[in-house]
Amino acid sequence: MELIEEQPDDWWEVEALFDLAFAPGREALSSYRLRDGVKPVAGLCLVARDEAGILGGAIRYWPVHVGAHDALLLGPVAVHPTRQGEGLGALLIEASLAGAQDWERVMLVGDAPYYGRFGFRRLPSVVMPPPTNPDRVLGRDLAPGAWEGVHGQARRWERG
């Protein structure tokens, strides 16, 4: 698998993969309220393609505000059902986070046992739009202590 930056021509193929992985109703999830009208973070959104160019997985990131702070919102990340169990999801997460050196913190809504192995932990002082289970709001420091003292509502990005 080759990991490359997602290009505009990849958009609909990646959207189809996300629909396959999460069902077409995925856009009703609360995290999508933070993505509406906001461009994903260029350079961190990756696709994984095999030697034939077939899409095997994808990951996207979005800028958000939490209280008075900026953060990355990881997601969605998906692996095609035919490629699951190969470590491709982990590869996408680790490679994209390695490229996020311009950011101090990252968050997501997800399964703590899965994302905990990548350094994510529960963020009890961060509130996502409802209906979000607060136990699924997770974050990881990209700079030492980046989540210390950060609290409040996650909001849509309002800068260019």
Cβ-Cβ contacts under 8 Å for 45 (sequence gap 6 or more): 5, 6, 58, 59, 60, 61, 96
Let me know: does 104 contact 150? Beta carbons within 8 Å. no
Report the pLDDT value the prediction gives residue 24, as an integer from 0 to 100: 67
Distance in angstroms (rounded) separating the CA atoms of residues 14 and 31: 18
Query: In the 3-class helix/strand/coil scheme, how is 42-84 assigned residue by residue?
Result: CCCCEEEECCCCCEEEEEEEEEEEECCEEEEEEEEEEECHHHC
pLDDT in tens, 70-97: 999 999 999 999 999 999 999 999 999 9
Report the pLDDT value the prediction gives residue 47, as an integer from 0 to 100: 98
Instruction: Provide the token pair at 90.
Output: 């982990």
**pLDDT(159) > 90:** no
For the chain, what is the radius of gyration of the CA atoms? Answer: 15
pLDDT in tens, 52-75: 999 999 999 999 999 999 999 999
61: left (phi over 0), alpha (psi -120 to 50) or beta: beta
Q: What is the pTM of this model?
A: 0.93
Mean pLDDT of the 135-148 span: 97
Fold exhibited by the domain 2-155: Aminopeptidase (3.40.630)
pLDDT in tens, 14-39: 999 999 888 766 665 677 778 888 99
